[in-house]
Structure 1
Amino acid sequence: MVTSGGFIQACEQEQLHLSGAIQSYGALLIANKKTIQITHLSSNISDFISGFDEHSVGHLVPEILEGLIQNFNGTTQFYENELQGINSRLDVILNAVDEQHMAIELVPSLPHVRLQSAIKVLPPSIDSDAVLNSVRQQLVDYIAELTGFERVMYYEFLPSGDGEVIAESCQREGMGSYLGLRFPASDIPQIARDLYLKTPWRAIYDASAPTASVMGHFTPDLTHSHLRSVSPVHIQYMRNMGVMSSVSWSIIGRNELSALLSIHDAEAKAIPLPVMQHLWEVIAQFNLMLREFAARKRMNLHARMQEQLNKLQVRINSAESFSDVWPQLSAWLMKEFKLQGVLLVHANEQFTAGTLQLEPHAFKQVQTMLLNSKEMLWQTDNLLGALPAIELSEVAGVAALNALPQSQQGFQLYLLRSCETYQISWGGRSDKPHEQQGELAISPRRSFEKWIETRLSFSMPWSEDTRLKLMKLRLLLQLLK
């Protein structure tokens, strides 16, 4: 039996982009961009185009593809119904392998409905959280209608790394709902999240189908490959969920993966390439609106905070001593951050407010950690879990701002929250150890049924705005004398 920590470590070490195999739904050629010679091909190439087999490494690519290669600009390119294969017309996908090589992927060309312009699918902008929720649901409903997949989920990543389904569309009765359920960070390791940032989407056509090996003289980088094979752990994960096929599109925040739009089906399914492209464009439009809305919210928060801090600054500048300012400042802090207690260490003095305070032994542990840390900001909603040396404390949540250099001239601010019993709904028991299944030494949990975790030693989580607010507050507190 492998612990959750061991499971995560093993997943992070898996070189997904160097799998040396592709999904057998399509075929792959890799060519040198200058010589147009084939350096790699998939073992199933003869199932898709004639005249090529495992002995074709070193040959020139088919003449019909030379023009595409010469026009390749280094980014992923799609060509619908481009050439005749053995059993059907084929779409062609071009993507980069490295500076000298490019991949040519061949997939069956499928019929599709007439598609409207991507910019007409959703409203032109998002101006409130209520509108955001409505547009998000509209998006998942549209994807469900267009693809026919059984389940569509908007899966948002939380600051903790866990994910939560915040919008869903289910097409079949009795399949259950994941709406409102959380999933642990280990379900999508960081190495997989990094790949989502580099590809327009990730499609898995048939989790039960065998892979096709990529033959050549070195293992190619398949980071950008549309057909890249699937991790055995993820295949088992899909089977445990009762899913055979899936597609995921990325929602990207400020240089990080903020959410996934994922579709699942219990049967092996493929979406026509133009439909995949269309949905990519629709999601990109949504992503742009989402970033613009988030930017406006940050600007509004900056403006509101600055207005409040300007008032406090006037009060500080006019006061004879900091003791005269503290009642007004602490009352504002308690309300703004929803606190039960606050502590400010300044000029070898401690100023407190509220009904909750760090016990002397707990304060010593937290302060020592801050002084030894290079981080200016630190926060936790589970103090006893974050600092096990603190055996007992009424404080559960701490957000600390440290501006106390070795000279001791500066300040430390501690925002304090008490324990609050609350529940989190998980998709499966997140703390259950991972067991061996079949040939896998490790594999994901078997059950995804709703499991309720009752948290007893946690405070309510700090909002994503906490860090921004504290950084602005730091500028005000630097005025203290």
Structure 2
Amino acid sequence: MEHGRHVDLLSCADEPIHIPGSIQPHGALLFFRHDGQLAGWSANAPAMLGIVPELGLPFAALALPPTALEAIGDCIAARDDDDAAPLVAGLNIGGADYDCVVHAADGRVVAEFERRETSSEEVSRFAIKAHGSIDRLRRQKTIDALLASAVQQVREFTGFDRVMAYRFRPDDSGDVVAESRRDDLVPYLGQRYPAGDIPAQARRLYTLNTLRTIADMGYAAVSLLGAPDAAPLDMSFSVLRSVSPVHVEYLKNMGVCASMSVSIVINGRLWGLIACHHMAPKLVPHAVRLAADVLAQVMASTIHSIEAREDASLAEQSARVRTALVESLLLDDDPLDAIGQHARALLQASGAQAMLVTQHGKIAQFGDLSEELAEAVIHSLPENQHDLVVRELQADWPAALHGKLGKWVGMLALPFDPLGHGWCVLLRLEQIEQVAWGGRPDKTVALGPLGERLTPRGSFDAWYETVRGSAHPWEASVLANARLTLAELVRAVNAHRAQTEATRAQLLAMLGHDLRDPLHSISMAGMVLERTGNGAAGNAGSHQPTLGKRIQSSTNRMQRMIGQVLDMSRIDRGMGLGVTLQPVDMKALLEDLIDEARMAYPGIPIELVCDDAVIVNADEGRLGQVLSNLLSNARHHGEPGKSVRVSLKAHAGQAVLDVANAGKEIPHELAATLFNPFKRASLNNPRNRSGMGLGLYIAQQIVREHSGEIAYRYEDERVVFTLRLPLAG
């Protein structure tokens, strides 16, 4: 029969530990084919069990006690039942007590006869102690208290010198979180053991077979015998399975002579281990080991309940935050203000220490980080993202930010408005840990019992290391709640946007149809009043021309506003502005507009630099609308008394127009929204009270329909808007 090969630490990661081809010597093993014929046995079976094995011999022909034969026959009959539990029978062979454990494995039936050195009465007393331990464990309210109680109870009813509770981390390393030990032993509580101490295939076996024991680390393995061409016996569920020599050496290096481990498995995941060590050989009766296994199952159930309660509490808290957040979003015009009102609750529910909220280039921050870092974090986020962005390690960030992050490493970002680059970003601090490793975790070449090779570490004194560059991982429950929050944010933002669109559509209809006719009538009345005032004599009518001009001026301004809103409506509906292109002398058009501005506002100097005629294909009326808007903005927002500079030139096949006014640089968050409609910076602006923030929005659309572009920059302490259009021909 083939069996496990010679291994060292270079190959133990893929060592076939489930088919070692040998057993521990404190018992004997027989295995049968599905029809009940003997397929193999351990080399010590004839002497220990008093039988004469022969390949193909029916199990009933073996000189075994009737209880053993009955258990083997029952297991053969139920071999196809995957849910069938192993059958256990107590028996005596040659004056020695045995526990016979029979189970089906990979089309075969395995019968193991394990020596029992403890009397049935003592085993019963152990079982009673174990039952009391289970009751005490069920009453624990926290995971820490549960583990502390468990190691104490297991040590009491098993008699091991040291019992530890391991809890595994997401990276598969494990911490000793509870310990009960003999007073003279060095404590291991608080130490961490690297993930490599339990290779993947060992972790799989820990999950499948939750109970393992080694009675004596100095044992000499007993080989299995069988047909030379037979497949190796799968011993994943065997109680006598021989263990990896690397694992034996590892435990010997710790001074351990016997061990038992019980897995804590939750939802198919290896959550933790109860590890028992003894400084002398020790064989724990099978029934007592089963009691420890039941104890671990109760622990798993209790831990699962505690974690479920904690998750439910977090989910309830997050639901309350989401409800309040949605209400604020529907009532507040600015999502940043609405989300900011609930910053503390969001941070508490997510276990974060800082938060950023951004939309349309504006950033609101909550927590101890600089504006520069806040901008860098926002700029590192992807465009058009619709799912969470999770970062837990410094390596998860763009390389350019590694030196700028400082103490912030963890990030959970919710893209609530992809079109407007709207994000709610939660940040966690770097988790700087002073890790007490159970011995130096790296591996060194040494001369071990199996020759010169990579050998398990020999010293298990605490070896301290400072670990940096990582944050506490985002818990599954936090991520789940974040996705629910993201869905609510997106729904609320879309609902608010839909409501705004509906209101705007009603406003457009009112402006377009209900106001134009009365405004036209008022304008006509102003004209009549102006004319009659010119023909009237005396002082009575001396103010009428001025009054008429005011009426006409006001109605003209309102007509322009209505025109802007209707233009916006056409743009939003995808109808376009209906431009008709023809050759236009841009220089002549610009000079006319500047002359009008100089006459209307003689106190504002306007400088024009334009050498030659610049001909473009354009709709003259629409192009005039763009130029008027740029001149009007420069006049309204420039510093009083300082000139507006206008330059026009032909360059690289384009007409390039710069309109510049003296003034402060536009803040970054406002610059990002300059070409948005109804922007807050334009509403109720003291220098332009009648503005609605539509001018630049419409100007940009007009320029785009002319295959051009318009942009803002700040240069030489001046605000500059640049218009580029293709030259004619």
Shorter chain as normaliser: what TM range?
0.7 to 0.9
Residue of structure 1 in register with 2:91 after alignment: 82
Q: Secondary structure at the match of 1:92?
A: strand
What amino acid maps onto 2:27 in structure 1?
G
Mapped to 2, the partners of 1:28 and 1:143 lie a distance apart of 28
With over 3 angstroms needed to count, the CA separation of the structure-2 counterparts of 1:365 and 1:233, relative to structure 1, is farther
Mapped to 2, the partners of 1:359 and 1:314 lie a distance apart of 27
Residue of structure 1 in register with 2:174 after alignment: 163
Per-residue deviation, residues 378-420 of structure 1 (Å, max 9, x unmatched) = 331x314776675423254223246589x85885543223445
Residue of structure 1 in register with 2:367 after alignment: 354
Per-residue deviation, residues 201-232 of structure 1 (Å, max 9, x unmatched) = 01112222121222232212111111111112
Mapped to 1, the partners of 2:422 and 2:318 lie a distance apart of 20
Residue of structure 1 in register with 2:284 after alignment: 271
Contact 2:246/2:456 (8 A) holds in 1: yes
1:248 aligns with 2:249: no
Alignment of 1:327-338 (within 5 A): 327-338=340-351
How far the C-alpha of 1:257 sits from its partner, in A, is: 0.9
Contact 1:400/1:412 (8 A) holds in 2: no
Mapped to 2, the partners of 1:120 and 1:420 lie a distance apart of 40
Q: Secondary structure at the match of 1:48?
A: helix
Mapped to 1, the partners of 2:355 and 2:298 lie a distance apart of 43
Mapped to 2, the partners of 1:20 and 1:389 lie a distance apart of 54
How far the C-alpha of 1:118 sits from its partner, in A, is: 4.8
Alignment of 1:272-311 (within 5 A): 272-311=285-324
How far the C-alpha of 1:456 sits from its partner, in A, is: 4.3
What amino acid maps onto 1:81 in structure 2?
G
Residue of structure 1 in register with 2:58 after alignment: 60
Mapped to 2, the partners of 1:387 and 1:48 lie a distance apart of 66
Mapped to 2, the partners of 1:378 and 1:257 lie a distance apart of 24
Residue of structure 1 in register with 2:557 after alignment: none
Residue of structure 1 in register with 2:246 after alignment: 233
Could you tell which deviates more after superposition, 349-358 or 63-72? 349-358
Mapped to 1, the partners of 2:216 and 2:314 lie a distance apart of 46
Alignment equivalent of 1:179, drawn from 178, 189, 192: 189
With over 3 angstroms needed to count, the CA separation of the structure-2 counterparts of 1:52 and 1:328, relative to structure 1, is farther
Q: Secondary structure at the match of 2:267?
A: coil
What amino acid maps onto 1:444 in structure 2?
P
State the TM-score, normalized to the length of structure 1. Answer: 0.85
With over 3 angstroms needed to count, the CA separation of the structure-2 counterparts of 1:79 and 1:337, relative to structure 1, is closer
Contact 2:45/2:51 (8 A) holds in 1: no
How far the C-alpha of 1:168 sits from its partner, in A, is: 0.9
Residue of structure 2 in register with 1:455 after alignment: 467
Mapped to 2, the partners of 1:360 and 1:196 lie a distance apart of 47
Residue of structure 2 in register with 1:193 after alignment: 203
Mapped to 2, the partners of 1:8 and 1:391 lie a distance apart of 35
Mapped to 1, the partners of 2:433 and 2:193 lie a distance apart of 17
Residue of structure 1 in register with 2:611 after alignment: none
State the TM-score, normalized to the length of structure 2. Answer: 0.58
1:14 aligns with 2:30: no
1:469 aligns with 2:489: no
What amino acid maps onto 2:25 in structure 1?
S
Residue of structure 1 in register with 2:72 after alignment: 69
Mapped to 1, the partners of 2:215 and 2:397 lie a distance apart of 42
Bigger Rg over Cα = 2
Mapped to 2, the partners of 1:233 and 1:345 lie a distance apart of 55
Contact 1:23/1:211 (8 A) holds in 2: yes
Contact 2:336/2:357 (8 A) holds in 1: no
Mapped to 1, the partners of 2:132 and 2:100 lie a distance apart of 27
Per-residue deviation, residues 414-465 of structure 1 (Å, max 9, x unmatched) = 32234454422221122x3343442363332222111222234444555564
Per-residue deviation, residues 21-61 of structure 1 (Å, max 9, x unmatched) = 2222221111123x2111121122123212235xx222222
Per-residue deviation, residues 129-176 of structure 1 (Å, max 9, x unmatched) = 2xx4334323212221222211001111122311111111112x3211
Q: Secondary structure at the match of 1:415?
A: strand
How far the C-alpha of 1:324 sits from its partner, in A, is: 2.4
With over 3 angstroms needed to count, the CA separation of the structure-2 counterparts of 1:140 and 1:36, relative to structure 1, is same
Could you tell which deviates more after superposition, 269-278 or 352-361? 352-361
How far the C-alpha of 1:177 sits from its partner, in A, is: 0.5
Mapped to 1, the partners of 2:266 and 2:51 lie a distance apart of 46
Residue of structure 2 in register with 1:43 after alignment: 43
What amino acid maps onto 1:68 in structure 2?
A
With over 3 angstroms needed to count, the CA separation of the structure-2 counterparts of 1:236 and 1:388, relative to structure 1, is farther
What amino acid maps onto 2:194 in structure 1?
P
1:379 aligns with 2:391: yes
Contact 1:170/1:177 (8 A) holds in 2: yes
Residue of structure 1 in register with 2:695 after alignment: none
Q: Secondary structure at the match of 1:279?
A: helix
1:105 aligns with 2:115: no
Residue of structure 1 in register with 2:596 after alignment: none
With over 3 angstroms needed to count, the CA separation of the structure-2 counterparts of 1:213 and 1:375, relative to structure 1, is farther
Per-residue deviation, residues 168-193 of structure 1 (Å, max 9, x unmatched) = 1112x321101111111111122212
Contact 2:353/2:367 (8 A) holds in 1: yes
Q: Secondary structure at the match of 1:192?
A: helix
Q: Secondary structure at the match of 1:228?
A: coil
1:142 aligns with 2:156: no
How far the C-alpha of 1:323 sits from its partner, in A, is: 2.7
Mapped to 2, the partners of 1:233 and 1:141 lie a distance apart of 29
Contact 2:318/2:349 (8 A) holds in 1: no
How far the C-alpha of 1:259 sits from its partner, in A, is: 0.9
Contact 2:387/2:415 (8 A) holds in 1: no
Q: Secondary structure at the match of 1:224?
A: coil
With over 3 angstroms needed to count, the CA separation of the structure-2 counterparts of 1:419 and 1:136, relative to structure 1, is closer
With over 3 angstroms needed to count, the CA separation of the structure-2 counterparts of 1:138 and 1:202, relative to structure 1, is same
Alignment equivalent of 1:212, drawn from 211, 218, 222: 222
What amino acid maps onto 1:442 in structure 2?
L
Q: Secondary structure at the match of 1:301?
A: helix
Contact 1:76/1:96 (8 A) holds in 2: no
Gaps of 5+ in 1: 1-6
Gaps of 5+ in 2: 1-7, 495-729
Contact 2:29/2:113 (8 A) holds in 1: yes
Contact 2:257/2:279 (8 A) holds in 1: yes
